[in-house]
Amino acid sequence: MTTVTTQAGPGRAPDPERTAAVRALLRGADARRRRTDKTMTALMWGAFVLAMVPLASVAWTVVANGMHQFDGYFLTHSMRGVFGGMDAGGIYHAIIGTLLITLGAAAISVPIGLLTAIYLVEYGRGALARWVTFFVDVMTGIPSIVAGLFAYALFAVFFGPGVRMGVVGSVALSVLMIPVVVRSCEEMLRLVPNELREAAYALGVPKWLTVIKVVLRTSVAGITTGVMLSVARVIGETAPLLITVGVVDSINFNLFEGRMMTLPVYVYRQYSQGLVPCNDALDAVCIPSINYDRAWAAALALILIVMLLNLVGRLVTRWFAPKTLR
Amino acid sequence: MTSTASTAPDPTPPGGPVADEPRPSRGTGARRRAGVGDRGANRAFRWTATGAGALILAVLAAVALFLVIRAWPALTAGGAELGETISWFPEDASILSFVGPLIFGTLLAAALALLLATPVAIGIALFISHYAPRRLASGLGYVVDLLAAIPSVVYGLWGSLVLPPVVIPVWGWLADTFGWFPLFAGPASPTGRVLLTVGLVLAVMILPIITAVSREVFLQTPGLHEEAALALGATRWEMIRTAVLPFGRSGVISAAMLGLGRALGETMAVLMILSPGLLYSFKILQAGQQQTIAANIAANFPEANPMGVSTLIATGLALFVITLLVNMAARAIVARRKDFSGAN
Amino acid sequence: MAQRIDVKDLDIYYSDFLAVQGVSMLIEPKSVTAFIGPSGCGKSTFLRTLNRMHEVIPGARVDGTVEMEGVDLYGADVDPVAVRRQVGMVFQRPNPFPTMSIRENVLAGVKLNNKRISKSAADELVESSLHGANLWNEVKDRLDRPGSGLSGGQQQRLCIARAIAVKPQVLLMDEPCSALDPISTLAIEDLVAELKDEYTIVIVTHNMQQAARVSDRTAFFNIAGTGKPGRLVEMDDTATMFSSPSQQATEDYISGRFG
């Protein structure tokens, strides 16, 4: 223990008058300022709580209203031959359509998005790179319905007006998806330390192999996450699919022919059919609200898919990220 | 990313084929990437990547081009012709007088959403960046982002089946109390399918993006400035007012504009909630007054004949231009801010 | 205006980590007290507990008392905001508010307390504070220009002007010259010598010549090793400290044998 030779300790007794004066000074800011501070703190908490109200309400109503239709039958049957207030029908065809169309969109967007990200990170310099960066940002703001109109207009040029098929929806979704893929991949590629690239060059590995074997390999987890999150982002899109893919009641596995049903459009379709006028004398089983029930159940399925994609996407990074990227 | 170096490929050095790999003697890393020994697979790969980048620009140009091509018949047809061929086209209207109220409705709905969302979003962003316990902050940010993960059609469902019973009495009270104010002119619609309900749902939908961008900006406030304010005897709120808000102002503006861009283009919530009308009307508590471009397209497109489709695409073109301008302005502000903070 | 600070047996923790242990000292009014010691010895940490600025870091807390004229700054009825108003602080790097003009920077603290200060009173305060910080002659013609346009040394004096504009009892300076060139450093040192007529000044410095030049009393902090808490080794009149310190560690440090 070092001995502390200071004059601290009792010292000279403080003058009681000064003590009182200092105590008054330190008692606090004036009441109005403290009140403002407290009010603002309460407002900040309030804002957060306020935002949680719709989140909780949406989650609760979707689960509560969707639960009683949501079962194995609902997931494995289409709407073929279902009419009126029948207690039947499901979302099988819509799930198929959503999966196929989204896969198609991913098949278009991921190569383009990833290559663009590689261009921006590894090669991009000068005016072109600046323009690409700027317009990728601008592209994130394209309204989904405009993307739908674009895809329709594009295909109408080749197939004539009134064209409705799955791949048009894929193209529409990929317009929305590409900028998201570019952004997230770019971020991930930039995280790869330059030393790794230089180490590969020093070993005599050509640049393109370095990019593929070192840069992409290092960031594969992050890229996977980015792709999954971008899929989650577009899988709930309704408007572009409504105008490009249309509505149908039966199963269609072919992206290149005929209308397809998708989950979000299914929700809208069921909702817009509204309440069923039931006549007890004619029909034994008639549920007036069956359309709304199906809409809620399909919404539940859609939200579950989106949440699953989000969750798995985030877990992928956590599990597979190289130590350096953490 | 520096943008000073030229993109022109270096001339191939004389003296036979060069190795594929960049030679370390070429100096800095940035320099080495500029395509030295750019041959074979290397060149193909570089061109593929560059092509993908250029494709993005091409896609954006194609969006505009194809919209114009398909909209052309409607743009050149007279109002009388449109009125004859399209069932839902109002009589005695031209394409301009048709799209006018739609643009008005779109802007009004988005403005309402922005007005409702921005203060709350700033509050949440400050809450996460400066009030919440630091350990919780990123988790809370994720919870707010969940709002963005909910598909718009689910918001539509919620906004049309769950929300109206809750808001109808409130809207009624608003109309009774503030009816003298043009926006709240009564009588409030008994269905709740009015623009204010739409604005409310849109506000919830754009809350996450405004919050996320503002939060990032607030977190970037230099600790030095926050400490300077605190050391002068500022309370937490006064510190935020002195150091955080002035620093983040342009960031918040661009965040709000990004939110505005989202609200302008949102379709399903409007389509499912609003009872539409084609008026230049500020009455946001009455049904059948306004309609937005996006919702109008989605409502009429499936049943439209070729001229109808062309008309709808023309309105879509207007929406495209509006959102493009808003987004470009927002991004330009963000970019200028980056330069500004980089220079200091 | 200047007040005396009496620290008794102060321990400073970051969460469970004991950063500074068992400091007791008396800081005299209208004098300059310098804290010296090697990096990481806790002198800046200790300085920040004198106006409760350490509380900005989550999990930071103290045991013991810091009394100003007999009032414990950590007492239940004491408001940390009021403490910081009475104990001003100048930081290592100059930090004028970038969005404010020079004039607004000087008035920043005052505006918090007294919103309705008249224009003439504000002008007077700006002038006297800038005079007090030896900056008036250099900036009087450009009071409405941004404070970030000044040189580093001028910015630091602007920060001092901002701190004294709220008329604190005590002024804490955390290595105020470490980011400045020698000429600006001299200007700040001259200023410190003038300010001590009115304020209690505590200055942390890495520069022992500076401590010897400006301070009346010097406290030497040291740390036994990594992960160990910092301690106050000894404190005495500056002249005594630099000529015949009672501790071997102090002598080693002052004569440049370590640190």
Which helix (DSSP H) or strand (DSSP E) does residue A113 occupy? helix A92-118
CA distance C158 to C136: 9
Name the band, by pLDDT with cuts 50, 70 and 90, for residue C254. Answer: confident
Chain C interface with A: residues with Cβ < 8 Å: 3-4, 6-8, 22, 24-26, 67-71, 73, 75, 77-79, 81-83, 85-86, 112-113, 169, 219, 231-236, 246-247, 249
Neighbours of A296 (CB within 10 A): 28
Lowest mean pLDDT among A9-23, A79-93, A154-168, C21-35: A9-23
CA atoms within 13 A on the CB side of A163: 22
Q: Does domain A72-325 have CATH number 1.10.3720.10?
A: yes
Name the band, by pLDDT with cuts 50, 70 and 90, for residue A13. Answer: low
Would you say residue C198 lies in a domain? yes
Task: Enter the DSSP assignment of B215.
Answer: H
The CA distances from residue B179 to A181, B17, C60, in Å, are 48, 82, 54
Neighbouring-strand partners of residue A5: C234
User: The tokens 């990481």 sit on which residue?
Assistant: C40
CA atoms within 13 A on the CB side of B195: 31
Would you say residue C259 lies in a domain? no
Report the domain count for chain C: 1
Name the band, by pLDDT with cuts 50, 70 and 90, for residue A28. Answer: low
Name the band, by pLDDT with cuts 50, 70 and 90, for residue A61. Answer: very high
Position C204 scores a pLDDT of 93
Does the CB of C54 have a partner CB in chain B at under 8 Å?
Answer: no
CA distance C154 to C161: 10
**Among candidates B225, B227, B235 on the partner chain, residue whose Cβ is nearest the Cβ of C56:** B227
Taking alpha carbons only, the member of C25, C21, C1 closest to residue C12 is: C21
The answer, yes or no, to whether residue B221 has pLDDT greater than 50, is yes
Position B251 scores a pLDDT of 84
pLDDT tens figures, A211-234: 888 888 888 888 888 888 889 888
Q: What is the mean pLDDT of chain B?
A: 81
Contact A166, A215 (CB under 8 A): no
Give the strand pairing for C217-223 and C5-14: unpaired
- Superfamily of segment(s) B79-343: MetI-like (1.10.3720.10)
Contacts of B33 in chain A (CB under 8 A): 122-123, 207
Position A321 scores a pLDDT of 59
Contact A131, B328 (CB under 8 A): no
3-state DSSP assignment of residue B77: coil
Give the strand pairing for C170-174 and C60-68: unpaired
Domain boundaries, chain B: 25-71, 79-343
Contacts of B157 in chain A (CB under 8 A): 62, 267, 271, 295-296, 299
Position C207 scores a pLDDT of 86
Average pLDDT over residues C98-114: 84
- Spell out a b/e string for C216-239, using b for 16 or more CB atoms within 10 Å of the CB, else e: ebbbbbbbeeeeebbbbbbbbebe
| Burial class of residue B139, CB neighbours in 10 A (0-12, 13-18, 19+) | exposed
Contact C24, A9 (CB under 8 A): yes
- Inspect the interface and report whether the beta carbons of B246 and C99 lie closer than 8 Å: yes
In percent, the amount of chain B with pLDDT more than 70 equals 85
Position A281 scores a pLDDT of 59
- Inspect the interface and report whether the beta carbons of A15 and C73 lie closer than 8 Å: no
Contacts of A306 in chain B (CB under 8 A): 149-151
CA atoms within 13 A on the CB side of A258: 10
- Radius of gyration, CA atoms only, chain C: 18
CA distance C173 to C159: 11
Which residue out of C69, C166, C222 would a mutagenesis test of the A interface target, given it has the greatest number of A Cβ atoms within 10 Å?
C69
Contacts of B133 in chain C (CB under 8 A): 58
The distance of A1 to chain C (nearest Cα, Å) reads: 10
Contacts of B234 in chain A (CB under 8 A): none
User: The tokens 């994720």 sit on which residue?
Assistant: B142
Phi-psi region of A185 (alpha: psi -120 to 50; beta: other; left: phi over 0): alpha
The CA distances from residue B206 to A256, A288, B121, B122, in Å, are 35, 34, 9, 12
Taking alpha carbons only, the member of C242, C58, A124 closest to residue B56 is: A124
Full residue range of the structural domain in which residue C211 is found = 5-254
Position B337 scores a pLDDT of 62
- Inspect the interface and report whether the beta carbons of A28 and C22 lie closer than 8 Å: no
- Inspect the interface and report whether the beta carbons of A26 and C86 lie closer than 8 Å: yes
The distance of C7 to chain B (nearest Cα, Å) reads: 20
Lowest mean pLDDT among B29-38, B311-320, C112-121: B29-38
Taking alpha carbons only, the member of C61, C54, C53 closest to residue C13 is: C61
Which helix (DSSP H) or strand (DSSP E) does residue C19 occupy? strand C17-27
| Tally of helices (H runs) and strands (E runs) in chain C | 10, 10
Position A7 scores a pLDDT of 43
Q: Which residue of A has its CA nearest to B145?
A: A55
Domain boundaries, chain A: 26-66, 72-325
User: How many whole angstroms from its chain centre is CA C221?
Assistant: 16
Tokens of A28: 């606090």
**Among candidates A162, A201, A236 on the partner chain, residue whose Cβ is nearest the Cβ of B24:** A201
Average pLDDT over residues A272-294: 78
- Inspect the interface and report whether the beta carbons of C91 and B227 lie closer than 8 Å: yes
Q: What is the mean pLDDT of chain C?
A: 87
The answer, yes or no, to whether residue B8 has pLDDT greater than 60, is no
- Inspect the interface and report whether the beta carbons of B231 and C53 lie closer than 8 Å: yes
The answer, yes or no, to whether residue B121 has pLDDT greater than 90, is yes
CA distance B279 to B283: 10
Which residue out of C21, C71, C77 would a mutagenesis test of the A interface target, given it has the greatest number of A Cβ atoms within 10 Å?
C71
Position B240 scores a pLDDT of 92
- Inspect the interface and report whether the beta carbons of B231 and C88 lie closer than 8 Å: yes
Position B340 scores a pLDDT of 45
Name the band, by pLDDT with cuts 50, 70 and 90, for residue A284. Answer: low
Taking alpha carbons only, the member of A311, A290, A279 closest to residue A88 is: A290
Contact A284, A43 (CB under 8 A): no
DSSP assignment of B239-262: HIIIIIHHHHHHHHHHHHHHHHHH
The answer, yes or no, to whether residue C32 has pLDDT greater than 90, is yes
CATH code assigned at C194: 3.40.50.300
Contact C35, C50 (CB under 8 A): no
pLDDT tens figures, B155-178: 999 999 899 899 889 988 888 888
DSSP assignment of B122-167: HHHHHIIIIIS-HHHHHHHHHHHHHHHHS-HHHHHHHHHHTHHHHH
